[in-house]
Amino acid sequence: MRFARLAADHRDIVFRCCVDSRTHVDTLAEACQAHDVAIGVVAEIEVGQRRCGVPPQDAVDLVRYVRDRGLRFDGIQCYQGLNQHIRSYRERGDAVMRVVEIARAVRSAIEAAGIQCQLVTGGGTGTFEFEAGSGVFTEVQPGSYLFLDVDYAKNMDANETLDRRFVNSLFVMTTVISVDADRRWAVVDAGTKAVSLDSGPPTIDSPDAADLSYRSGGDEHGIIYGTVGQLPDAIEIGSVLRLVPGHCDPTVNLYDEFLVVDDDDNVLETYAIAARGPGR
Amino acid sequence: MRFARLAADHRDIVFRCCVDSRTHVDTLAEACQAHDVAIGVVAEIEVGQRRCGVPPQDAVDLVRYVRDRGLRFDGIQCYQGLNQHIRSYRERGDAVMRVVEIARAVRSAIEAAGIQCQLVTGGGTGTFEFEAGSGVFTEVQPGSYLFLDVDYAKNMDANETLDRRFVNSLFVMTTVISVDADRRWAVVDAGTKAVSLDSGPPTIDSPDAADLSYRSGGDEHGIIYGTVGQLPDAIEIGSVLRLVPGHCDPTVNLYDEFLVVDDDDNVLETYAIAARGPGR
């Protein structure tokens, strides 16, 4: 109902909603009727993610039901998240092609039922070029490329060497607050509350920091080790390090605002992170 | 300097600060002088955490330096985080006793230097009873007991059975948004952005949910599996489940407010989470 109210308040914008069950369609139909709005329906197809999505063989039935309930059917969503992180270019492309074939078959079945399937959407920063070049997908959904993160930077390009088309632009600034007496490690003020660890630890992007690595030190602490045994001289209490988050989405989610800086770290602009938090 | 300004604005409150280096002491001395305030100094001792802390044998030197710089020395902090999560009561107690012996020796050395050591602080929800009963610690720092979490609920009590003195009081409410066609799994709207996974997944606390388990489905999704193969009938699109977070601190950190509810889930009060976010 909130979504329908939003659509009613902004009638100049196209709203669409993914569905994978008749329950969704019923709820959406009631909400659209109550607010006298049209929300385009996109049928989400189960293409291997095992998360949301109607089984491909049940797609036509669901699409028919969408139209029976008087809703506008716009197309299908075929997203496979795990494919984004397959390191090898060839293996990643092969995995996407399996999704493309399912999408093609579902679209054909819908069209064979006399229903137009305008939209085939999916893909992300790791795979968008495969979906975009497939001749089947009409829309791709990359987003992480803007910031990149440690994890996406491990993917390979067409030469099976590290993909360097996008560079990291998201950093967490952290300050050294303690140094071990024998200079084996330093403690920084960025822990689990400051940088997401679910796709591995951040790397350190600082001129004197090539041989530094980060390990979790708990909610408020990170531990910086020198990979050659001793910390470089530049690391001392008060030193500021730039961390490259292992995973950008849940890291951004922790902050109220972005600081946009120039090459000298002068703050040019501040953007509020309106959608931060649990996201419901 | 921010800390000294805070102390200057609230002169009726006792402020203390942990230090583990002369750099900290110098910074604190300058800040106290600039704002004409007294901040009590607590020397943090390295007792096995390998995070912050001066080595025990260097503690007296640091304490002398605190007094040389005109600051008030209040005592020592001896915190060992990993001890909190040792499952066996006996092994946990033994680990704390090693910390107690270090604390006792450091306090004796400080007193032998003619300096009073009023405060010996440390411990947490997993170990507070050992520190409190040690005859050495004068303060304990439990906090998680208020909410508990999946992880702390795995600790054993003096009978080496699950410690049930504290119960879970922190829950994340989540809604089922999709159910697999064969009812093998359901998808809920709580992912990495809604519940911390760093100490393992949440458990599900719902009357019909004894045989359900949670797996991560990414930033916005959680996947609920039935441990007996098929989901119970009560799980359908729109069902609301209560998750018990694996780790309360970084979960609380994601939210702007607590909703305090009664047994019927009526909201009695709302508390702002003022300190949420990266915490600097």
> B230 to chain A nearest CA, in Å?
15
User: A185-188 and B119-122: which strand pairing?
Assistant: unpaired
pLDDT of residue A280: 53
Arithmetic mean of pLDDT, A36-59: 97
Mean pLDDT of chain A: 95
Secondary structure (3-state) at A67? helix
pLDDT of residue B12: 96
Arithmetic mean of pLDDT, A65-88: 97
Q: Which residues contact B77 (CB under 8 A, 6 or more apart)?
A: B18, B42, B43, B44, B45, B53, B121, B122
Q: What does the pLDDT look like over B205-238, one tens digit per residue?
A: 977 666 899 999 999 999 999 877 789 999 999 9
Look-up of token digits 């040792």: B86
Q: Give chain A's domains with CATH numbers.
A: 2-142 (3.20.20.10), 172-272 (2.40.37.20)
Residues of chain A found within 8 Å of residue B190, distances taken between Cβ atoms: 278, 280
Residues of chain A found within 8 Å of residue B21, distances taken between Cβ atoms: 178-179, 237
State the angle between helix axes of B89-112 and B59-68 in degrees (0 to 180), rounded to the nearest 10: 50
CB A34 within 8 A of CB A43: no
Arithmetic mean of pLDDT, B27-38: 97
Distances (CA, A) of B153 to B39, B126, B144, B204: 37, 10, 11, 14
Tell me the residue length of chain A: 280
Arithmetic mean of pLDDT, A132-145: 97
- Cβ separation B193–A220 shorter than 8 A: no
pLDDT of residue B69: 97
Pseudo-torsion of CA A126, A166, A254, B280, nearest 10°? 150
Secondary structure (3-state) at B188? strand
- Cβ separation A194–B279 shorter than 8 A: yes
Q: Which residue among B58, B172, B278 places its CB closest to the CB of A193? A: B278
B250 shares contact with chain A (CB less than 8 Å)? yes
Q: Rounded to whole angstroms, how far apart are CA atoms A134 and A132?
A: 6
Tokens representing B117 are: 């050591």
Q: What does the pLDDT look like over A238-252, one tens digit per residue?
A: 999 999 999 999 999
Q: Which residues pair with A226 in a beta bridge?
A: A212
- Cβ separation B279–A220 shorter than 8 A: yes
pLDDT of residue B209: 66
A51 shares contact with chain B (CB less than 8 Å)? yes
pLDDT of residue B65: 98
> A97 to chain B nearest CA, in Å?
23
Q: What does the pLDDT look like over B101-110, one tens digit per residue?
A: 999 999 999 9
Interface of B with A in 74-93 (CB under 8 A): 81
pLDDT of residue A228: 74
Quick check: B280 pLDDT over 60?
no
Q: Rounded to whole angstroms, how far apart are CA atoms A179 and A185?
A: 6
ipTM above 0.85 for this complex: yes
A5 shares contact with chain B (CB less than 8 Å)? no
Q: What does the pLDDT look like over A141-198, one tens digit per residue?
A: 999 999 999 989 899 999 999 999 999 999 999 999 999 999 999 999 999 999 999 9
B139 shares contact with chain A (CB less than 8 Å)? no
pLDDT of residue A226: 87
Percent of chain B past pLDDT 90, that is, above it, reads 90
Quick check: A57 pLDDT over 70?
yes
pLDDT of residue B206: 75
pLDDT of residue B1: 84
Give Dmax (Cα) for chain A.
75
Arithmetic mean of pLDDT, B170-192: 96
- Cβ separation B249–A277 shorter than 8 A: no
Arithmetic mean of pLDDT, B134-145: 97
Q: A116 burial class (0-12, 13-18, 19+ CB within 10 angstroms)? A: exposed
Q: Rounded to whole angstroms, how far apart are CA atoms B173 and A28?
A: 23
Quick check: A227 pLDDT over 90?
no
pLDDT band of A38, cuts 50, 70, 90: very high
